């Protein structure tokens, strides 16, 4: 009679923790403490990835290539459109109230314009946005333009260009590359802008919660639980996220997301 040695258990696949790139922000360094923390708590290897954009990040989740994601709000809302069960909502940084009030979008111009005047004259004006899947520099100000009678900026304006960052969108307006610009309010408010005119300011924009891709070997509820105690177990997790996302302000912990409120915003993205 021969004895067959039991098969050795296979090593677990790395937990892929990913986010999206942004100019002048080392996003790989920003999420490394998060990945290392989850690796220790879940006792499995981890891998950090930075994808080109929020849309690419969500596409990576849909393709099974990303397990835990740090998206922006636009990316999070895109994820809600995936088939049921594809993603689970994780906690979100608890931004202090005073700082949360500053996370808004603005639309500004070289000269004062009413909504009616902007809509009437858009065909002669160039618009600068930050990016197609930016929140404060993309879909939120698009909503503001719609409120002013411009439902389709590409059809209404002489040009619509993407500056790539909030600072660049403001710079394009100042140096004459654009006539109207959309960007994050905190960038616009950082210094006096005596030669510019604010046309519109959004309500407060909530940050996007983290995301998890459920799987047999990946308990998203357990991951969410670990994130809720990360401030007690490893403050470096939130320190890294704060360094990568200025909209997180001085947040020191992650808290459960208000999924009902966020779901109401899902229909506002392109």
Query: 68: which strand partners?
Result: 17, 212
Same domain, 170 and 156: yes
Same domain, 185 and 257: no
The Cα 10–Cα 97 span in angstroms is: 46
Asked if the structure places residue 7 within a domain, the reply is no
Q: What is the pLDDT of residues 247-262, one digit of tens each?
A: 999 999 999 999 888 8
Same domain, 119 and 190: yes
Query: 270: which strand partners?
Result: none
Q: What is the pLDDT of residues 62-87, one digit of tens each?
A: 999 999 999 999 999 999 999 999 99
pTM for this one? 0.88
Asked if the structure places residue 247 within a domain, the reply is yes
How many domains does the chain fold into?
Answer: 2
| Domain end marker among 152, 169, 201 | 201
Domain that residue 114 falls in: 104-201
Residue 90 φ then ψ, to 5°: -100, 175
For 127-165, where are the alpha helices, taking DSSP H only? 140-147, 153-156
| Domain end marker among 178, 201, 224 | 201
Six token digits for residue 176: 């004459």
Same domain, 238 and 264: yes
CATH number of 165's domain = 3.40.190.10
Asked if the structure places residue 59 within a domain, the reply is yes
Q: What is the pLDDT of residues 135-178, one digit of tens each?
A: 999 999 999 999 999 999 999 999 999 999 999 999 999 999 99
Six token digits for residue 76: 């999070």
């Amino acid at each position: 009679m021969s004895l067959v040695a039991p098969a050795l258990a296979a090593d677990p696949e790395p937990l892929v923790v990913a986010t999206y790139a942004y100019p002048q922000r080392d996003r790989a360094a920003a999420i490394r403490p998060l990945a290392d923390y989850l690796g220790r708590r879940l006792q499995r290897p981890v891998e950090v990835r930075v994808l080109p954009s929020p849309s690419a990040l969500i596409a990576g989740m849909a393709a099974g290539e990303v397990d835990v994601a740090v998206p922006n709000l636009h990316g999070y809302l895109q994820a809600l459109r995936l088939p049921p069960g594809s993603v689970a909502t994780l906690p979100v940084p608890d931004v202090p109230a005073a700082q949360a009030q500053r996370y808004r979008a603005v639309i500004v111009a070289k000269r004062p314009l009413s909504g009616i005047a902007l809509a009437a004259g858009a065909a002669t004006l160039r618009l600068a946005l930050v990016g197609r899947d930016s929140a404060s520099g993309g879909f939120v100000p698009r909503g503001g333009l719609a409120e002013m009678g411009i439902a389709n900026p590409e059809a209404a304006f002489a040009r619509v260009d993407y500056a790539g960052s909030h600072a660049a969108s403001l710079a394009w307006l100042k140096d004459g590359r654009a006539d109207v610009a959309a960007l994050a309010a905190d960038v616009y408010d950082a210094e006096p802008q005596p030669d510019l005119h604010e046309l519109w300011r959004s309500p407060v924009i909530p940050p996007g919660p983290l995301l998890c891709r459920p799987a047999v070997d990946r308990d998203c509820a357990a991951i969410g639980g670990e994130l809720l105690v990360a401030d007690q177990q490893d403050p470096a997790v939130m320190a890294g996220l704060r360094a990568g996302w200025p909209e997180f302000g001085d947040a020191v912990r992650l808290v459960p997301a208000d999924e009902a409120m966020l779901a109401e915003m899902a229909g506002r993205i392109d």
